[in-house]
Structure 1
């Protein structure tokens, strides 16, 4: 049998069908009841809710048959949705040139009578039909046709309601995810503020002592450090305020930025002991990402690499590479390391290794969990390789 002509807007129709997320779902009593009722009203042994996919017709509900799908090429319903009629009735398929040679007519199924009402969306896309079938020749009176159309509208109403409920659930889940993410982000960002605040406090104290005793030009350098740290702090606070008002922007707002400049800015915000050296890559590519998410990821990874380094000569290295799909970073240190059985757990919320850092402080269990959430939200991945007393490397890939 030749292929059935598709609608001119077939791609749009298939997109509309997929938006209902109904294909290949389990049987549901509400839909089964409607095919039972259609079968009873039209006095046919078979009634179906048929949805026309790209190459098949799939039955959401089926009264009188057990089969769940057939090829679209032999489908009566494919003709019904292409006819633009409010109902298509075939009283005797064997006498209809469109179906006389159809294997569903000539084979064991022996379809003779068919009546189908298209299931049409508000935008005019026919998703499929509510149809009734018999192996005997028959007709439908006007009352039966009217009732079949009413039932078809109820099918469409249920599909619309089901889709709206799914959209509401998805929106609610997105809201919950945003709330959790912004809470964790705020906690981590507040923790990060301690770094520039510490710089301000330490340099202010040193400035006061030097000013009182020495009155030398070194005061200028300390003042400059205060100004830089304060400006970085103000930027971070402003970003926190902006994203707290609209959490979705934390991920959705992408911008182009120079990665070298941002990484240098992050290092300037951190308290780096004299025995720790940080090696940053030279990145020729400008990144197109959420800047605030990028900053928070690397503030945390670099801060941890510094805090948990117990070597006399600590080294932190950042490496960069890219391919067609991802930006890839490595943050490597020669610090205390992480036992292998903790490599997955460290990304869990509120999990800590119960070890103190170089400042005799314990971790909050928030940082790496939030980093993983941010990387996942950027359609990326993060994992760790580490050995005790040898060091740790975090591998981060972020979708372009």
Structure 2
């Protein structure tokens, strides 16, 4: 760990320390365990992880003492960070001046000190892993190795905290960007939907007021205009739904009775004629996102019925539990998906040549939203299908 050149640039050292966000960051049992082990292995009364600030030294962890902070000047750790040694070891017999100057700083009179500077990648000592004793002593080789190993683990914890802090910062920025994007999508959708509504209403009005004057081809043009306007409006709605889907994923997790959930969803579709939907009569799900799972089922069932030209449209939902996942299958007798298309159906904005039973093309958003929900629930989804022979969507979500 310590085979690095120690930097003597104090300004850069403090800048490096700031990146770790550890100064006065509160107690942490992970660090306390390390100082406990150091004290026991080296057989000393006091072990500390000392954070070197601008003027003071603060302890991230201290075993054997209640002292929380002390002046940096004349502190023994001040010598350790610039000594250029892997382990800085001194005692009062060989270096009486160090201990004499430090006598009024500490809570007791020490005669032995050993400190391992904790260096970042650029050689800046942000802290010292150190031990103290009130009597003159020496460390055995195994004790030195143990102290170095514990210091390495301490630095690993600091690095982990630093990366976590960076990740949290990136997450905050991404969340802000996402909110801005969602706001933009809302504004754009409003600006598009308003003129679309005018186009639809004016076109319908034009058809009604001129139905005797228009020939068949002109009426078909107007019908196509209305149909295209509705398709574009629905497309805008689905884009907005996709960007808002993260709000669904933020819902609280709860226990769910699966048959009750599926009944409420399937009742929305069984009102149509010649629709048969079957689902399990038993099943309890623990601590899941009910809102997200409902959206997944609604989308898959809706697609199964829309892309189905059979006289009787059938959907079957099955369920099983494994040691790690809740597993579901949604099967239909619809038009199916070709082998060439199966690889892209979950991609955002990827559309197929197929049209639904009303002749409308897909938006390429619904299944992308389904995949997004499932992956956020630590699951996965796949499709088994053959053109003209229906489809089976198999997905699983992580169970607690």
TM-score by length of 2: 0.48
TM-score (norm 1): 0.48
